[in-house]
Amino acid sequence: MIETQRLLLRSWREADRPPFAAMSADPEVMRHLGGAVDRAASDAVIDRLTASERDHGHTFWAVERKEDGALLGFCGLRRGGHPGTGVTDELEIGWRLARHAWGQGYAREAAGASIAWGWANRGDARIAAWTVPANTASWGLMLRLGMVHRAELDFDHPAFAPGHPLSRHLVYTIDRPA
């Protein structure tokens, strides 16, 4: 578990499924991720993230607000990427928050703590993140975290047809501090 001033980043629990499903059904939250999904698809995400933590010791953890125990979304690190792209085996930082949690600094707080955890617990030389060009909030956070756009790693997402608005992905990285 990672603890920050306001947040807990922790393993997923069964009780997280309903609020995560509600967040995943919100078209605004899912706008840059292919659209809202149903409960079965949302549960499958939690299942994959739980398996990732079991297999690798880290994942996109559940983000809980300490003040009231509310699930705000997820943030953390996972190994992966997309086969056939320049990010196939990157240590990826990612986040997704419910709309009610936007604009309050939670994503930056959780992402900063996740990066610090990565440097302390993983041997990777860098951490990467990616998003679509239209997702200015995400790539803006990447910049605020000290990440740098790596145009040579940008890729077309294999889940979307060429030319689709969600196909092109920008890649940002941050190098391990000296």
CATH number at residue 44: 3.40.630.30
Tokens at residue 114, please?
Answer: 């996740």
Tokens at residue 156, please?
Answer: 């077309």
What are the pLDDT digits (tens) for 14-57?
999 999 999 999 999 999 999 999 999 999 999 999 999 999 99
Q: Is the pLDDT of residue 1 over 80?
A: yes
Q: What is the phi/psi pair of residue 127, to 5°?
A: -125, 140
Strand stretches in the chain, DSSP E: 2-3, 7-10, 60-65, 71-80, 90-97, 126-131, 148-149, 155-156, 168-175
Model confidence at 100, in pLDDT bands (50, 70, 90)?
very high
Bridge partners of 90, per DSSP, are: 80
Q: What percent of the chain has pLDDT over 70?
A: 100
* The dihedral sign for the CA sequence 93, 97, 103, 109: negative
Average model confidence (pLDDT) across the chain: 95
Most confident of 33-37, 68-72, 165-169: 68-72
Q: Which domain holds residue 56?
A: 2-175
Q: Specify the pLDDT at position 131.
A: 94
Q: Is the pLDDT of residue 84 over 80?
A: no
Q: Is the pLDDT of residue 87 over 90?
A: no
**Domain count for the chain:** 1
